[in-house]
Copies of this chain bind each other. A is one copy, B any other.
Amino acid sequence: MTVETQFAHFDSLSLDCGETLAPVTVAYETYGELNRDKSNAILVLHAFSGDAHAAGISHETGKPGWWDNMIGPHKAFDTTRYFVLCSNILGGCRGTTGPGSVNPATGRPYGAGFPVITVPDMVRLQKKLIDHLGIRRLLSLSGGSMGGMQALQWAVEYPEAVVSAIPIASTFRHSAQQIAFNEVGRMAVMSDPDWKGGDYYDSDPPARGLSVARMIGHITYMSDDSMREKFGRRQRPKEELSNGFSVDFEVENYLRYRGGEFVNRFDANSYLYITKAMDNFDLSNGYGSLSAALARTKARFLVISFSSDWLYPSYQSQEIVRALRGHNLDVAYCELPSNYGHDAFLIEVGEQTELVKHFLANTFKKAA
């Protein structure tokens, strides 16, 4: 199934910081067919480094989408039954307006002049897209990690538009440890002289800093167990570097490779803006408590976490589940056994598929 990224354009978007972004473009893809009464739409929300290309084979790159194992005919998000959408988030660098976009006021990329954005801002832009497509209610929203944060924000901010939500390996707000890992990544980027205060679009990007930031990320996405299974202490063929420090272990080589690869597809300023939005996100903001925030929603929930995910540990999902149950909502929760750590939401297809498939079928039946 070849897919093509589409673009929607809006005159402006009001932001939480008080500024207005104008104009705004959203990159998105769709899979499956919207039914006549527009009741089968599911919005899939990507994690911080993802993009609109969630499923199928990209017409442009020939590559499968980041959740292609979950979205498609007869898959978890079954495109023979549902109309699935995914859009690149605000502040991203994959087609949606972000710090690398041209600021019409200057004719040059925004860079660090891009306004501070929030997860609610991202969701507000997604709502514009959904309105633009004439969809009044989403049968479901789902995403892992920061995608789960967006799903929660949707349920609280637009209760009448959300029939159900499936936040996976997520949290209603970052812990000190999660903020700390993001902060080190930001410092790595901003410490790179090529970052130049964010104004690097005419020259080399801060590749070394962004690569280090991504290496840290990859460690936190895996688990101690999965790293042991994948690499252990397996050594590389000796390959002395010019500076005398050799890459001795496969795990070192893997991280360097993944760090370098990331630089080719991701903008350093987007890294800064999006991680800040994640850290600042707190679903209880403006409501006083998580419970008060979730009192607004009537949606059904399927909350999923993974046993070996130490970056977004199960207790964070359980906090959400407890608050939802306090309002007598229809909540299913599963901690799936997995060795894959936080990456599990992208890898553990089997059990997620069973859970999501039945949850969606039930939701569709009840909503009909």
Contact = CB atoms under 8 A, between A and B. Distances in A.
A108 to B, nearest CB: 16
Interface string A174-216: 1111011101101110111100011000000000110110011
Nearest to A185: B212
B198 A243 contact: yes
A173 interface: yes
A188 to B, nearest CB: 5
B233 A282 contact: yes
- The prevalent SS among residues of A at the interface is helix
A246 to B, nearest CB: 8
A230 interface: yes
B184 A209 contact: no
Interface stretch (A46-54, A85-93, A251-259, A349-357): A251-259
**How many subunits of this chain does the assembly comprise?**
2
Interface stretch (A162-170, A272-280, A288-296): A272-280
Interface residues of A, number: 55
A212 B227 contact: no
Chain B CB count within 10 A is highest, among A224, A242, A245, for: A245
A348 B228 CA distance: 29
Given A175-B227, A187-B212, 16 more contacts: A116-B244, A173-B233, A174-B233, A175-B228, A176-B228, A176-B231, A176-B232, A176-B249, A177-B222, A177-B227, A180-B227, A183-B215, A183-B251, A187-B211, A191-B209, A216-B216
Interface of A: 112-113, 116, 173-177, 179-181, 183-184, 186-188, 190-193, 197-198, 208-209, 211-212, 215-216, 219, 222, 224, 227-228, 230-233, 242-245, 248-249, 251-252, 255-256, 259, 272, 276, 279-280, 282, 310, 313
